[in-house]
Chain A
Amino acid sequence: MKELVKRAKQGDADAFAELIHLQMENMYKTARAYLKNDEDAADAISETILTCYEKLSTLKIDAYFRTWMTRILINKCQDILRQPKEVSFDEQVHDVGVWEDFSNAEWMEVLYGIDEKYRTVLLLYYAEGFKIKEISQILDIKESTIQTRLVRARQTLAKEYQIESGRKSI
């Protein structure tokens, strides 16, 4: 990946496209941790691609590309969340859990089953393989807080699923 970053920094648009394609699934997963519909996720990812291309020369350490890109993506997601919106019927439907892409329904169900406080941290740590230090840089939160959130997230998951499985067994 470093080689692709190096080439992209030299202005090689093909190398940049390769880099983005490699990250596309991770970008989508992260975007959906924040945004409730694919249209907004598409906007956030598209904006992130443009910003990364424009600002790539400011990335001082090539190995940090993925951390840097994820931070930009999360900022874009937060920008979209801050935008005032007219809520359409479609969006109301999305919010109550009808997923645009049925093939990902189960994944979405699990993702949105996790408390919002812990969702991003769990996703970045377990699904995307970021280290605690990197997550701390991405989310601008202390490393100790990330560790605490991970522990609490696991405790909460265990508790909730025990209750859920208890109900099912009755």
Chain B
Amino acid sequence: MTRIDSDVIEKLQEHIEVPEIVRVKADRTLEEIKLNAKQEKKVLRPVFKKKKVKAASILLAGMLAFGTVTVGAAAIYQWNQRAAQQMQADESQQKKLMEEGMATGLCTSDENAGVTVEAVQTISDYRYIYIWFQIKNNNPNLVLPDEAAFENMDVSTENWKGAYGINCGILEKISDDGTYELRTEITHEMKESLNGQKIKVSFKNLVGFDENLDKHILLEGNWNLEWTLQASDKISEIALDKEIKGYDNVVLEKINLTPVSATLYFPDWKDRMEEVKVTDEDGKETTRKMRQEPPALVGLLMKDGTVITDFKGGPGMAGLDEDGDGTTYIQSDGFSRVVDVENVSSLLFLKKEALEEMKEQERAITREDMLEIPLK
């Protein structure tokens, strides 16, 4: 490279000011997005009443539930075994979650152009809904590539439209006979129980992706499924009011635990901002004022002494309790496996010093890196 063209390139790399007209318009667009997110109830609304669920009535509801979809809809008193395997649910856990109304096997389906979409399993607590679908391709003219997906997924219930978040991934081939699996995770913020409500799930168009990540439609069509949702509102609400040592005056007020989620409440968080070093896409280091993140829950210590660390990786949400006192920070994680809530004895947080070390160099978390907060 000559001196001259390197001068030009250096000039192009220089920091420039984004003009006010651009910044103002972009900020206005972002404000509209935030406002819409709020209006669509996409903000945290943490007040959930603890409701006791009678197992017998749930079981009865489960046995009687059927919907109005194309082929048929019925709840089955049995887990889908792939779902059980992924959620590491043993037989007693499967039975327990069924009795509590949290987990339901299903056979609800819709067929279009030789492709059948069947809902086979739900697990639903007061905040998250996990739904497993099986997709059977009997269309001789349709070849599904490795990375196929639905172009769009909509979810609604009788008194709730839209979700805080829908995680609808890529279809996973589970059999050479053209059967695929789709695991979806839905985050919602309903104050009212979703149990017993009709849930509608609609998929639109099957798409594939080329090497440029552009999607192309493989099969146009809609698949509409509807059934009566079984959901459990049972929460273990544990008041703690305990300081997490090593962090600057951080108090964990309470935790809401279910077999598939943990929601933690950190009071007085509104003004906890910090200057964070960030590297922009040009590799330049800069600082940005961001809200502090609370200590990370990295493990669950069980009564028998075992430590569970592989519970994260499901859906999640975090932010200020804007519909409540506006100052409490809520951190919620949907689990990637079933946890026996009654057997959890302590929460394990990442120690501040370990966190600082890991900022410098990534490494695996060990038991010594964890700080214990007993639940009693």
Contacts and interface: CB of A to CB of B under 8 A. Distances in A.
Most buried by B among A7, A9, A13: A13
Given A11-B165, A60-B209, A104 B17 contact: yes
Interface in B307-362: 315-319
Given A9-B167, A11-B187, A22-B280, A110 B12 contact: yes
A57 to B, nearest CB: 6
A129 B281 contact: yes
B349 to A, nearest CB: 18
Contacts of A39: 21
B165 A9 contact: yes
A17 B42 contact: no
Contacts of B147: 60
Given A13-B37, A49-B29, A26 B8 contact: no
A66 interface: yes
Given A10-B315, A26-B282, A127-B282, A46 B213 contact: no
Interface string A138-149: 001000000000
Interface in B244-297: 278, 280-283, 288, 290-291
Given A11-B165, A107-B12, A22 B281 contact: yes
A61 B213 CA distance: 9
Given A13-B37, A24-B18, A127-B13, A140 B212 contact: yes
Contacts of A38: 19, 21-22
Contacts of B28: 46
B144 interface: no
B5 A158 contact: yes
B15 A20 contact: no
Which range holds the interface residue count of chain B?
Answer: 35 or more
Given A11-B42, A22-B280, A104 B33 contact: no
B23 A158 contact: no
B33 A157 contact: no
Chain A contact residues, majority secondary structure? helix
A161 B8 contact: yes
B33 A16 contact: yes
A46 B281 contact: no
Interface string B121-161: 00000000000000000000000000101010000000000
B103 to A, nearest CB: 23
B364 interface: no
A66 B281 contact: yes
B21 A24 contact: no
B209 A28 contact: no
A98 interface: no
B34 A17 contact: yes
Given A11-B317, A107-B12, A60 B149 contact: yes
A123 B37 CA distance: 34
Interface in B162-210: 163-170, 187, 209
A126 B8 CA distance: 10
Contacts of B278: 22
Contacts of B34: 13-14, 17
Contacts of B318: 7, 12
A5 interface: no
A122 B9 CA distance: 8
A97 B319 CA distance: 46
A18 interface: yes
Contacts of B14: 107
A161 B1 CA distance: 13
Most buried by B among A10, A16, A28, A162: A10
A10 B16 contact: no
Interface string A95-136: 000001101101100110110000000110011110000001
The 8 closest A-B pairs by CB, nearest first: A161-B4, A157-B5, A42-B25, A13-B37, A10-B165, A11-B165, A127-B12, A101-B19
5 contacts: A9-B167, A60-B170, A113-B8, A122-B9, A128-B281
Interface of A: 1, 7, 9-14, 16-18, 20-26, 28-29, 38-39, 41-43, 45-46, 49-50, 53, 57-58, 60-61, 64, 66-68, 71, 100-101, 103-104, 106-107, 110-111, 113-114, 122-123, 126-129, 136-137, 140, 154, 157-158, 161-162, 165
Interface of B: 1-2, 4-5, 7-9, 11-19, 21-26, 28-30, 33-34, 37, 42, 147, 149, 151, 163-170, 187, 209, 211-213, 215, 278, 280-283, 288, 290-291, 315-319
